[in-house]
Structure 1
Amino acid sequence: MADPLAEVVTLLQPSAPFSKIVSGAGRWGVRRSEAGRPFYCVILEGSCRLAVDGHEPIDLQEGDFVLIPSADGFTMSSLTPATPEDFDTPPVALSHGEFRLGIQCGSHDVRLLIGYCVFGSPDAALLVSLLPQLMHVRGERRLTTIVQLVGDESRDLRPARDVILARLLEVLFIEALRSSAGPAASPGLMRGLADERLAFALRQMHESPTRPWTVAQLAKEAALSRSAFFERFGRAVGVAPMEYLLAWRMALAKNLLRRKEGGIAEVAARVGYSSASTFSVAFTRHVGLPPTRYAQEQLESQHT
């Protein structure tokens, strides 16, 4: 059966080209407004506080991993309440490549590896909408092992350090997605997959996107009434069932068009549309461009 998480991650093409080590001592605070850039943080030592817009503040501790697939605004600060003046103080570069916040001398209270992910897919915004808004993972043995490897690699300037860190962070990203599933997760694909009945319907949509699904048919696959399925799906995944199916079909269509795998009629058939004209109308409404123009623009961008 299809693996929705693997398919979404494969289309996202995640990488982690930028990271840095930051330590903090005393009172300090940093405010960032990143306009949707995927942000991650690994707590290597100590503890600090994270406040993401729209979420309750989280006290982070050693071994924690945080991933925000689309970070619009957040603050990180010391556990000791920071003043407005503390937020105005930029980090200071240290001689060995780390950055320091707060008190510049002496031992640190916290040491972090922070950075930004890059999603290679031009359709990243649509795919990110299928993921939880905030992932905070703690106490997962497998994830802790990867975090330890990241910490060890980040401390030494060994050959190919940046390459190894990038690969480890990619694995960390995928493992965090798997570890963040559960009823307490924010709405998204992973929370839906944690629900056994919804997971079966989700896998059916991914495995057979060409089937003319209806809410009633998907509810039957999930062994739920139509109303119960609709309400439960929306609460867990964050969108209505047919909205999710449309988003997934459009993601598949855009990938096929980018890779020039067939004409419009063939692409339409491969994502569940009975005719090229019906597909073109749906694609244009969803993407903002007709499929022929989208394919042309993708081709031109590959040659620039």
Structure 2
Amino acid sequence: MDVLSSVLRELRLESASYRRLELRAPWRLRFDGGLRGVHVLVRGACSITLDEGPPRLLEAGDLVVLPRAGAHQMSSVGDERGPATSALDLARRTTGSELQAGGGGAGTTVLCGAFFLGDEGHPAIAGLPRFIHVPAQGGQSPPWLAGLTGALAAETVDGGPGSDVVMARLSDALVTRALRYHVEEGGDRGWLRGLHDPWVARALTALHEDLAAPWTVASLAVTSGLSRSAFAARFADTMGQSPMQYLTHCRMRRAMTLLRTERMTLASVAARIGYGSEAALSAAFVRYTGVPPGTYRRSLPAIETDVPQAQSSH
């Protein structure tokens, strides 16, 4: 399995249902953060602004994904500082999958959804980009995007029984392809950028394929095809952490998943993730979480929650 697929399985990507926004200028919507948003511009043009940054123009066929759940605003072009309506409030007072807002000017249609990550503590989250923009070319989306958004648009408006499941799976594919696009573009520091670097990617692939192997910086360097010092420096610059820090984080998140989902002894968990004994696992687990593995497992009924089912404001 490739690293992107492996990490997304570990993150447990889950998508929420979509809304179709029919907007007429002037309009301005505020997304207050907390949801990892997806926006597909079906028709027209608009601006999107993150935090206090400059407005970015979006055109028909564009896809935007906000993996870090950052607050942002969208508006008709030229109305970036006009009165803002909360997208969540608009969704709450509108029944059905189609939302309308704005005045009587030029029309814009946006498909908006959200996705959640089941493992919010996974080290890969820190490496997700704040903003992914997949632009259309001449008003036409890339073929992969056109197919997915066409199916999403149809399901949003005309969906029947099982529609939420269909939209969720389509959205999962949409988000995954957007992340792949970001990898291919060689984006910001983090594991996605690491997949674009052939030397770091070799080490990441080997590491995720066998977390239990007795990895060292030296053995990962051999796998990557670089000297130990060159590999360590390249990995840290690309990933924002050392190889051993990344390995420890991945092993601890896997241990937490196994303790939560599998009826395994601590010795079996230790062997599965590369620790020679329960004592070695316990020591590392306490350093990472602050509690022993047994205490963590016993506390799970009180602290474990499902992926949130919040109403999408998108």
Q: Please give the range of the TM-score, normalised by the shorter of the 2 chains.
A: 0.7 to 0.9
Residue of 59, 62, 68 corresponding to 1:70: 68
Instruction: Quote how far apart the aligned CAs of 1:199 are.
Output: 0.9
Instruction: Quote how far apart the aligned CAs of 1:54 are.
Output: 8.3
Alignment of 1:124-273 (within 5 A): 124-126=120-122, 127-139=124-136, 140-273=142-275
SS in 2 for 1:59: strand
Kept in 1: contact 2:49–2:72 (CA 8 A): yes
Deviations 1:247-290 (A, max 9, x none): 21112111111123421122112111122222212212222332
TM-score (structure 1 length as normaliser): 0.85
- Which ranges of structure 2 fall in alignment gaps of 5 or more residues? 137-141, 307-314
Distance 1:238 1:52, change over 3 A: farther
- In the alignment, the residues of structure 1 paired with residue 97 and residue 261 of structure 2 have an alpha-carbon distance, to the nearest angstrom, of 41
Kept in 2: contact 1:65–1:137 (CA 8 A): yes
Deviations 1:110-166 (A, max 9, x none): 2111122133x3x23314234333332235321232112112322335454333222
- In the alignment, the residues of structure 1 paired with residue 167 and residue 304 of structure 2 have an alpha-carbon distance, to the nearest angstrom, of 28
Alignment of 1:15-30 (within 5 A): 15-30=14-29
TM-score (structure 2 length as normaliser): 0.82
Matched residue, 1:297: 299
SS in 1 for 2:16: strand
Distance 1:54 1:205, change over 3 A: farther
Matched residue, 2:310: none
SS in 2 for 1:71: coil
Kept in 2: contact 1:49–1:78 (CA 8 A): yes
Instruction: Quote how far apart the aligned CAs of 1:173 are.
Output: 2.0
Kept in 1: contact 2:156–2:167 (CA 8 A): yes
Matched residue, 2:114: 116
Between 1 and 2, higher relative CO (CA 8 Å, sep ≥ 6) is seen in 2
- In the alignment, the residues of structure 2 paired with residue 134 and residue 149 of structure 1 have an alpha-carbon distance, to the nearest angstrom, of 23
Distance 1:259 1:247, change over 3 A: same
- In the alignment, the residues of structure 2 paired with residue 129 and residue 303 of structure 1 have an alpha-carbon distance, to the nearest angstrom, of 21
Kept in 2: contact 1:21–1:154 (CA 8 A): yes
Matched residue, 2:312: none
- In the alignment, the residues of structure 2 paired with residue 85 and residue 224 of structure 1 have an alpha-carbon distance, to the nearest angstrom, of 55
- In the alignment, the residues of structure 1 paired with residue 58 and residue 216 of structure 2 have an alpha-carbon distance, to the nearest angstrom, of 43
SS in 2 for 1:175: helix
- In the alignment, the residues of structure 2 paired with residue 243 and residue 57 of structure 1 have an alpha-carbon distance, to the nearest angstrom, of 37
- Which ranges of structure 1 fall in alignment gaps of 5 or more residues? none
Letter in 2 for 1:125: G
Of 77-86 and 259-268, deviating more is 77-86
Kept in 2: contact 1:27–1:82 (CA 8 A): no
Letter in 2 for 1:112: V
Measured on the aligned residues, the alpha-carbon RMSD in Å equals 2.9
Letter in 2 for 1:38: R
Deviations 1:163-213 (A, max 9, x none): 322221122122222222135422232221121111111011112212232
